[in-house]
Amino acid sequence: MLESEKIILRPFEEKDLEKWTSWFNDKDTTLYMNKRVFPNTLAQQKAHLKNSKVDKNNVQFAIVLKNEERSLIGSIGIHKIDWVHRTGDISILIGEKIGLGKGIGKEAIKILVNHAFLKMNLRKITAGMWSENIGSKKAFEANGFSLEGTRRKQFEANGKFYDSFEYGLLRDEWEERQNV
């Protein structure tokens, strides 16, 4: 379990499955995500949870508010971990509307980046997002991630094309920021 003043990152539990599944079926939540294309089922999410507990190349956490209810509001993980080259790719989703616009995504990324560099000994972390996902863009940039590339018109939705932004953070850059 990882935590800060406002949030806890903990492993997902069976009791979380229904809410977690619902996020991927919510058109507003998945507006700028590839997950919006196909419906998600409880069985699929249950299988994902089971696999994530044994997959050493993916680490998945529930984002929980440190309030009385310990409200589950999102998920964050490091995926595609390459232990040889010591890299991984962060994904984040704030699924509950009460968690939006409060800096929770930024804080969750900060906690996970610290864990990735200090405990997992990764040397680089990447993240990708649709160009219209301004909240993600701001949260990653606030944590020191730099835009490394743009894939033009990578995604199509509602008759429009969207670019894909590819971000990265090197451990030595992160360490320099810690000493500021």
pLDDT tens-digit readout, 123-140 = 999 999 999 999 999 999
Low-confidence spans in the chain with pLDDT less than 70: 35-37, 180
| Entry pTM | 0.92
Distances (CA, A) of 139 to 13, 16, 71, 89: 26, 25, 21, 15
At 35 the pLDDT is 67
DSSP β-ladder status, 146-157 and 7-10: unpaired
DSSP β-ladder status, 146-157 and 160-170: antiparallel
Domains of the chain, start order: 2-178 (3.40.630.30)
Tens of pLDDT along 58-73?
999 999 998 777 889 9
Which residues lie below 8 Å from residue 109, measured CB to CB, with a gap of 6+?
A: 76, 90, 92, 139, 140, 143
At 179 the pLDDT is 73
Residue 148 tokens, joined: 């490394």
Q: Give me the residues paired with residue 170 across strands.
A: 124
For 164, the 3-state DSSP assignment is strand
Q: How many CB atoms lie within 10 A of CB 125?
A: 28
Q: Residue 86 burial by CB count (10 A; 0-12/13-18/19+): exposed, middle or buried?
A: middle
At 73 the pLDDT is 94
